[in-house]
Amino acid sequence: MVTTDSEFLTRREKIDVLLKEAGWDVKNVSQAILEVDTLQSDFKSQLYRTVSDTLKNEKDSKYADYLLLDGSGDPLAVIEAKKTSKDPILGEKQAELYAQDIKNQTGKDIFIYFTNGYEIWFWNKPHDNPRMVKGFHGRDALERLRFQNISKKDFEEIPINREITDRPYQIESIKRVLEGIGRGRRKFLIVQATGTGKTRVAMSLIDILLRSNRAQKILFLADRKALRDQAYEEGFKIFFPSESKTKVFSGDVDLKNHRLYASTIQTFMECYRDFSIGDFDVIISDEAHRSIYNKWKDVFTYFDCIQIGLTATPAQLIDRDTFRFFDCLDGKPTALYTYEQAVHDGYLVDFKVHEAQTHFQIEGIKSKDIPEEVKKKLLAEGKDEEDLDFEGTEIEKRVIVTGTNEAIICEYYEYSLKDKSGTLPAKTIIFAISKKHAKRLWESIERLYPEHRGRLANVIVSEDSRAQETLRQFKRENYPRIAISVDMLDTGVDIPEVCNLVFAKPVFSNIKFWQMIGRGTRSNEACKNHDWLPDGKKTEFLIFDFWKNFEFFDMHPEGKISTSSEALPTKIFLVRLQQYQYFKRNGDLQNAEAVLAKLIKSVDELPKDSANIRERLRDVEIVTQGKLFDNIAIEDEVVFLKEKIAPLMRYASDININRETFRLKTEQLGLAILTKNNEEFERAKETIGDYLMRLPRTIKEVERKEIIIDQILSKNYWKFIEYKDAMAMQEQLVEIMDNVRPEPVPKIVLDIDDLIQERKKILYGFPAKEEYIDVYKEKVEAHIKRLAFDNEVVKKLQTNQQLTEEDLHDLEDKLNSPDLFITEELLRKVYSQKRATIVDFVKHILGLYRFASPQDKISEAFKTYMIERNYLNANQVNFLRTLQTVFTKKKHIELDDLFESPFTNFGADAPIPLFSQEELHELVQLCNKLEN
């Protein structure tokens, strides 16, 4: 068909550009022929006749918009172009006919494209169905695909290499993928528990795909350098010693001379556009779960190839979007091998949990816990006394307690699984909250165990240039025994001899939680250094949980549900859109046009070559090409901008957080001024003032703006501020916001003692089952509340009727049944009520009776004690109140405690002669009784 003007425009402005990106020069006749006549050309002889040659003769003609040629000058692919307003599918039949005309002469199939410049469809006929792609394949990619079409072997002819994979579940995973490829599937998700050989399955698949001529270029992507190196060193080098291989660090890579590539997804995010969509035949992505596919979607959707995702994340935790991405539309992975099954089959080991928490983690830190000399120093530094109270969850956030770190290390060292000698901890990973926390834990180890002379532990963090060498030592050498890590060892790193995991941090992602657990699951069979193992063998591993992570995930199986906030560019766009609406509604066309210009500019700056933007490029061009008000399909430009364009702003590139935050606040300030929103006005004013105060005046570009900054910081400026002032402020100061100093997050360091207060689990039933108290309590309460509907004895309790001996026996039998095995003794432990009866517990659960809390009991006992001794003076009463507070917190008091702070703060008379020796013993006995 002869090209129309609009088709020519599509071709020139869009298709030619996309072809150039893939390495095609449409002006070079050795690469491409435009408007080739598929009836009058002689394709066998490479005599290509175009529209200018045949338009005016009398013979039949068909004109293909593009004919792409291989390196020998033979037909390789045909492209049918439609104008942008047409559905490219309308060109499918035409393109197929062109390809058939060529095949009629050459006897060979060629590749088919049909496109309108926005959507590109590719058809590897007759081997695959047409599919939408993100661009055009390069010449090398198409020639390689043609070779595969001609030379591919049936998978049945290629035996699985048992030197790589020999376990039944691994073979099943491989066969499921190969069967899927045979049926035309191109995406697969393999879920296997950590330690069951995901990488070996990947290598086995690579081996078969290479030997069957189904792939020649294979990319292994990981989200960590350590995982990339592991795949390269322990996969490629071992199983493919004779294949050419390389690591990819940038887009400048030799694609001619290598077949196997390993890289990180972060690297590819920066350079993937340097490749053509077909430069790889297979991409295998390790740790393929939701967070990766949300963040790095562009990379995975760009390439046109077979994609195989590997993950150890339990299938029930995998997001539906991940299943959909891998075309697992039934919500099931291609292949599944669970941790539970692997333990049952003996390929992995199970774990036990040692849950413990320190006093300060449970009770928090109060001002009175801080030694007086430390408190005086803090007060002298400007701290308020009320600022010296901290929740346990604020440890390592707002407050650092040396004693807490030491208590955690002591608990671990005491109860850890030891090596064959029984003297040293077996290999251990400690998961720390932050790099500084990791260093503090290391310092605690050095202080507590100096006899090891610095060999016992090392901090391993990615920022350390020696991290890989330290990791290698931890993995292969006797020392260090303990690796303290922040994120770097959470996932993927394979160290079979690890027998202890220490959760010295809270974890809120169930996916990450199971990845961390996976560091210890490898079996005895995988271990090479048996002297490092308990009794010389690994039968289980031990997890120390100091932050109630297991309890959290028992109560919240999905973890903490994070709600992703809008990106800064999106927020700015939406605020400006509100401003535009305001001006338009109030007839202020000049300001409306000015705001609209800013909106259009921000849309025009979106990265047009991003896969996410290309999917919506038609909407973007409606805005950038001035068609927003000249389109019958758009009734309201504000709705269109809000619904179609605003969501795309999150893909804006090169965002400077300080600049864009300041820009957002000035835009919000402008809107607040227009709408007279005082609350929003004050919020914006506070943030702007904070930013200006954190600008260092010693920097020249800040110094030059000093007069403006001081003017804005003056109170008088804000009394008469107008919309135009807010915009001027943005224009004048946004460029210097790079210099804003980070907001200081002061942490108070307390060098005070802490101790393990709670090791909290219960055993119940026969054979004994372990359960966390809160989880067991929740199950008991749910069971008893269900009984309230149909159990006659429980109904009697609800109506306050007297129970008979027979009723009590019936109730006990009903409760002490399989599953929960509820007994009076067990409930006393669970509820910390040592004298309560089974009836009390049932009434309490049904809301008919309330147990006094420990604090209530202590308060009542001290109150009674003081009433009975109404002769006590004010100082004695004050002393008793302090004792009550200290005992409520510590739960235990000894006579010696009364001669230490805070009791010695009552002056020289305390505690003697304020109280006699006999009275002090009486007070200790009072506390002892309340402990029971």
More confident residue, 860 or 492: 860
Longest pairwise C-alpha distance within the chain: 127
Specify the pairing of strand 306-311 against strand 187-192: parallel
More confident residue, 674 or 489: 674
- pLDDT at position 174 over 90: yes
Radius of gyration of the chain (CA): 36
**Residue 115: strand pairing partners:** 81, 120
Q: According to the model, what pLDDT value does residue 659 have?
A: 93
C-beta of residue 737 within 8 angstroms of C-beta of residue 658: yes
Specify the pairing of strand 540-545 against strand 756-758: unpaired
Q: According to the model, what pLDDT value does residue 6 have?
A: 61
C-beta of residue 215 within 8 angstroms of C-beta of residue 205: no
Specify the pairing of strand 762-764 against strand 769-771: antiparallel
What band does 725 get if pLDDT is binned at 50, 70 and 90?
very high
DSSP structural state of residue 365 = B
C-beta of residue 79 within 8 angstroms of C-beta of residue 65: yes
Backbone angles phi, psi at 679, to 5 degrees: -65, -45
C-beta of residue 48 within 8 angstroms of C-beta of residue 64: no
More confident residue, 145 or 8: 145
Q: According to the model, what pLDDT value does residue 821 have?
A: 83
Q: State which of 349-358, 483-492, 553-562, 627-636 shows the largest mean pLDDT.
A: 349-358
3-class SS of residue 310: strand
Q: According to the model, what pLDDT value does residue 293 have?
A: 58
Mean pLDDT, residues 723-745: 90
Q: According to the model, what pLDDT value does residue 846 have?
A: 87
Mean pLDDT, residues 470-486: 94
Give pLDDT tens digits for 883-911: 887 787 667 788 887 887 778 777 777 78
Paired tokens of 798? 């609800």
Q: According to the model, what pLDDT value does residue 181 have?
A: 96
Mean pLDDT, residues 686-694: 92
State the Cα–Cα distance between residues 427 and 482, nearest whole angstrom. 6
Question: Residue 395's closest CA among 360, 366, 427, 419?
Answer: 360
Place of tokens 């989200």: 223
Q: According to the model, what pLDDT value does residue 555 have?
A: 60
State the Cα–Cα distance between residues 814 and 127, nearest whole angstrom. 66
C-beta of residue 527 within 8 angstroms of C-beta of residue 497: yes
Mean pLDDT, residues 825-847: 82
State the Cα–Cα distance between residues 477 and 497, nearest whole angstrom. 11
Mean pLDDT, residues 706-724: 94
- pLDDT at position 290 over 60: no
What band does 744 get if pLDDT is binned at 50, 70 and 90?
low
Count of Cβ atoms closer than 10 Å to residue 94 Cβ: 19
**Residue 307: strand pairing partners:** 187, 283
State the Cα–Cα distance between residues 336 and 353, nearest whole angstrom. 26
What band does 776 get if pLDDT is binned at 50, 70 and 90?
confident
- pLDDT at position 5 over 60: no
Peptide linkage before 126 cis (omega within 30 of 0): yes
Q: Which of 313-327, 720-734, 836-850 has the lowest mean pLDDT?
A: 313-327
Paired tokens of 849? 């009776």
Question: Residue 410's closest CA among 293, 517, 504, 493?
Answer: 504
Share of the chain above pLDDT 90, in %: 53
3-class SS of residue 527: coil
C-beta of residue 189 within 8 angstroms of C-beta of residue 322: yes
C-beta of residue 123 within 8 angstroms of C-beta of residue 142: no
- pLDDT at position 331 over 90: no
Paired tokens of 896? 């010696």
Backbone dihedral region for residue 626 (phi beyond 0: left; psi -120 to 50: alpha; all else: beta): left
3-class SS of residue 433: coil
Place of tokens 């049909």: 114
Paired tokens of 354? 């040692």
C-beta of residue 92 within 8 angstroms of C-beta of residue 130: yes
Share of the chain above pLDDT 70, in %: 94
Q: Which of 107-111, 237-241, 851-855 has the lowest mean pLDDT?
A: 851-855
Paired tokens of 171? 């073979």
Output the 3-class SS for 74-101: CEEEEEEECCCCCCHHHHHHHHHHHHHH
Q: According to the model, what pLDDT value does residue 886 have?
A: 79
Mean pLDDT, residues 453-481: 91
What band does 796 get if pLDDT is binned at 50, 70 and 90?
confident
**Which amino acid makes up residue 653?**
S
C-beta of residue 566 within 8 angstroms of C-beta of residue 453: no
**Which amino acid makes up residue 525?**
E
DSSP characters for 228-281? HHHHIIIIIHHH-TTS-EEE--SS---SSS-SEEEEEHHHHHHHGGGS-TTS-S
Mean pLDDT estimate for the chain: 88
Give pLDDT tens digits for 360-395: 888 888 888 888 888 888 888 777 777 788 888 888
Contacts of 311 (CB under 8 A, 6+ apart): 189, 190, 191, 192, 198, 286, 287, 288, 289, 318
**Which amino acid makes up residue 394?**
E
Backbone angles phi, psi at 357, to 5 degrees: -140, 150
**Residue 81: strand pairing partners:** 115
- pLDDT at position 3 over 60: no
Give pLDDT tens digits for 600-653: 999 999 988 777 788 788 899 999 988 888 777 788 899 999 999 999 998 888
Give pLDDT tens digits for 82-92: 988 889 999 99
Q: According to the model, what pLDDT value does residue 318 have?
A: 76
Paired tokens of 203? 């290598």
State the Cα–Cα distance between residues 101 and 41, nearest whole angstrom. 10
- pLDDT at position 798 over 90: no
Place of tokens 């998700």: 189
Specify the pairing of strand 32-37 against strand 63-69: antiparallel
**Residue 113: strand pairing partners:** 79, 122
State the Cα–Cα distance between residues 833 and 825, nearest whole angstrom. 10
Q: According to the model, what pLDDT value does residue 759 have?
A: 64
Give pLDDT tens digits for 525-578: 999 999 999 999 999 999 999 998 988 887 665 565 554 568 899 999 999 999
How far CA 281 is from CA of 123, 213, 478, 838, in Å, comes to: 16, 11, 42, 68
- pLDDT at position 33 over 90: yes
State the Cα–Cα distance between residues 270 and 870, nearest whole angstrom. 78
**Residue 662 exposed, middle or buried by CB count within 10 Å (0-12, 13-18, 19+):** buried
3-class SS of residue 569: helix
Torsion of CA 178, 182, 188, 190, to 10 degrees: -20
What band does 322 get if pLDDT is binned at 50, 70 and 90?
confident
3-class SS of residue 919: helix
3-class SS of residue 623: helix
Paired tokens of 738? 């790079």
Q: According to the model, what pLDDT value does residue 194 have?
A: 86
- pLDDT at position 280 over 60: yes
Q: Which of 41-55, 56-70, 200-214, 314-328 has the lowest mean pLDDT?
A: 314-328
Mean pLDDT, residues 9-36: 90
Q: According to the model, what pLDDT value does residue 219 have?
A: 97
For Cα atoms 805, 807, 810, give the angle at the middle one, nearest 5 degrees.
Answer: 110
Paired tokens of 566? 């809008």
3-class SS of residue 358: strand
- pLDDT at position 521 over 80: yes
Question: Residue 135's closest CA among 154, 122, 148, 123?
Answer: 122
- pLDDT at position 920 over 70: yes
Q: According to the model, what pLDDT value does residue 768 have?
A: 65
